């Protein structure tokens, strides 16, 4: 009987830990859907890849480039300016760049735009 109570106590602890872990994970990602979380990670990785391509392009050419210029010079391997409804916009100036991933708010209400600049830090925008 004592072993049955111990087993039940362990089971309750495991279930509570499991519930707590996954509730914190959905709060951290801002999304309850694992697919949406994967999509957002993909968008952030795309932003970093475009930012890295901008840095390489600037080192080789002395200026920053539009998305089309990055694609045509083979500086970036992605061929379409977007992913899973997000669209990418590259803004350049003489001393920097900014890449913005615009979320599809019409189809995904409450989604967040993300951006990266020459600091190579991805930021959520409001």
Domain boundaries, the chain: 1-30, 33-125
- Rounded to whole angstroms, the Cα distance separating 53 from 35 reads 27
pLDDT cut 90: percent of the chain above it: 34
What's the whole-model pTM score?
Answer: 0.70
Give the chain's count of helices (H) and strands (E). Answer: 3, 5
- Per-residue pLDDT of 81-112, as tens digits, reads 778 788 899 999 988 999 999 988 777 777 88
> What pLDDT is attached to residue 24?
57
> What pLDDT is attached to residue 38?
78
């Amino acid at each position: 009987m004592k072993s049955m109570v111990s087993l039940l106590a362990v089971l309750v602890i495991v279930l509570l830990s499991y519930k707590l872990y996954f509730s914190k994970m959905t709060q951290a990602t801002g999304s309850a859907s694992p697919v949406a979380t994967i999509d957002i990670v993909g968008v952030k990785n795309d932003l970093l890849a475009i930012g890295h391509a901008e840095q390489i392009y600037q080192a080789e050419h002395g200026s920053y480039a539009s998305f089309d210029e990055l694609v045509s010079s083979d500086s970036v391997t992605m061929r379409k300016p977007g992913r899973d409804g997000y669209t990418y916009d590259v803004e350049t100036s003489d001393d920097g760049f900014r890449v913005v991933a615009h979320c599809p708010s019409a189809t995904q209400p409450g989604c967040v735009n993300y951006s990266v600049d020459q600091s190579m830090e991805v930021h959520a925008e409001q």
